Amino acid sequence: MKSFTVCVVGCGYVALVTGACLAEIGHHVCCVDNDQKKIAELQAGKIPIYELGLDNLVRRNVKKKRLSFAPTLAAGMEDAQIVFIAVGTPPRPDGSADLTFIDAVAQEIAVHLKRYTVIAEKSTVPVETGEEVERTIKHHNKKGIPFDMVSNPEFLREGTAVQDFLHPDRIVIGVQSKRAQKMMTDLYARIKTKLIITDIKSAELIKHASNSFLATKISFANSVGRVCELVGADAKQVTEGMGLDPRIGPSFLRAGIGFGGFCLPKDLEAFHFISRQVGYDFELLRTVKEVNEQARALFVSKIEKALQTLEGKTIGILGIAFKPNTDDVRFAPAVDIIGRLQARGAYIRAYDPVAMKKAEGVLKGVHFCSNAYEAAAKAHCLALVTEWPQFKGLNFARIKRSMTQAVLMDGRNLYDGIKMKALGFEYHGMGRFA
C-alpha cells in the first residue's frame, strides 16, 4: 500500500491523534504547532493531553521515525504531499466560528508550497470555508504551485479518539479532483470502513449536521426528563425504552445536565449561524441550546432547593472534565455549574481523576481535592457532574458518614436512587423520582 509524507498543522486533541494514527498505518507524518512550549514537550517525549493509548502510539511511531514534531510550517511541509489543517475553530460571541487560525494557516501554507499538494480541512468548519481557504491559498501562492482542497471532517470522540480514528464508522472525503480523491483514498486504504466521497460543501455539512443532531438528541432526552419529573415517571427507563427502537438508538439519549466540550456547543451554534447567514433560520437549533442551558440551571436550582440556600454551603463536585476519560474542560458543564454555585455563595470542593491540572487553569476559588472522598468530606451536598466509571463504585456508606448533610445530586443518573435512599441519602437524579 502507498505511503505518503504528511504534515498535520496543530498539535491539539485532533491533530495529535490524526498524526499518530496516520503514522501507525504507515505514513510519514510531521506535526507542527505555533505553540513552541507544546512542540518542545512533544520533542521531549511528553504528551500535552490525556487520551487513552496516545502515549504508546506516539512513542512507538517516533521510535520508528514515522512521526516527528516541528516548530514551523516550513519544516513540516518540506516533503509533504498532504497537509492537514487541524487547528482550533473556537466560537465567537455571536455564535459564528472564529476562522482566524484557519486563515492564518492557509496563508502560511501558500507560501511554503513546493510541489502539487493536497490541503485537507480536518478542523470543523462552516460550509463554504473550503472555498474561502482555497481563495486565500491561491491569493498568496505567488508561484502558482498546483494544489487541491479537500474536506475530511473528523468524527473522533475524546476519550476513545485513537480507537475511533483507526476504526471509524465512516470516512468522509469532500473533493473536487480525481487526483486528490485518489490520494485521499490511498491514504486511508489501511482503514477498513465505509468511504463517503462527496463534494467539499457536503462534507463540511455532514460534520456540522451530525454534531447538531447529537446535541438535539441530548436536549430531547432532557425535555423528556422534565415531563417525567412532573408526572413522577423515570426518564432513565423511558429513554432506555425509546432507545431500543433501532430507528432511535440508545446513544446520546439520556436525561442529565446536558452537553459541553469543544465540539457540540460551538458546532451547534456555528451551524445555526451559518444556516441563518445563507437564508434559513434553523430555529430548532436555538431551542436545543436553550434546553441545554436550562438543564444546568435546573441542576443548580435542585441543589439550592434541597439545601434551602446555597449561601455558606459546601458542595462536593465529582468530575470536572466535560465527559469521562478526557482531561478536556473546555465548555465543560462543571465549569458553568461551579460558577453558578459560587455566585450563590457556595463553597466548592472538587475532584476529577485526570482533569485537575486543566481545571486549575480555569476555575477560581475552588478547593481541589486528591480523591472523591476528600471532595465529599464535610459537604452539605455531593454533586455528580461527570460520570467517570470509578465514581460508580465508591463506598457510599463511608461518604455518607463524612458529609455534613447527606444530599446526593446525580447529574448523570449514574446511581440507583433506591439504594442511595436506603443508605440514608436524600437522592435526586435528573428526570427521575427515585
CB neighbourhood size of 229 (10 A): 19
CB of 82 to ligand NAD, least distance (A): 16
| Nine-digit cell string for 315 | 458542595
Residue owning grid cell 434551602:
308
In this structure, is the dihedral angle defined by the CA atoms of residues 36, 37, 41 and 47, taken in order, positive or negative?
A: negative
Minimum CB distance to ligand NAD smaller for 88 or for 431: 88
CB of 226 to ligand NAD, least distance (A): 28
Continuous H helices in 25-53: 36-43
Closest CA to 409 of 273, 329, 305: 305
Minimum CB distance to ligand NAD smaller for 67 or for 87: 87
What residue ranges bind ligand NAD (CB under 6 A)? Answer: 9-15, 32-35, 38, 86-89, 101, 104-105, 123-124, 154, 156, 158, 262-263
CB of 28 to ligand NAD, least distance (A): 19
CB of 322 to ligand NAD, least distance (A): 10
Continuous H helices in 331-390: 333-343, 356-362, 372-376
Query: Residue 187: CB partners within 8 Å, gap ≥ 6?
Result: 2, 4, 6, 22, 27, 82
| Nine-digit cell string for 171 | 470516512
Residue owning grid cell 425504552:
241
Minimum CB distance to ligand NAD smaller for 68 or for 239: 68
Q: Which residue is nearest to ligand NAD (CB)?
A: 12
Continuous H helices in 90-128: 100-112
CB of 34 to ligand NAD, least distance (A): 4
The set of catalytic residues is: 263
Can you tell me the distance from the alpha carbon of 429 to that of 131, in angstroms, rounded to the nearest whole number?
47
Q: Are 51 and 159 in contact (CB under 8 A)?
A: yes
Minimum CB distance to ligand NAD smaller for 97 or for 350: 97
Minimum CB distance to ligand NAD smaller for 3 or for 141: 141
Helix (H) or strand (E) holding 396: helix 396-402
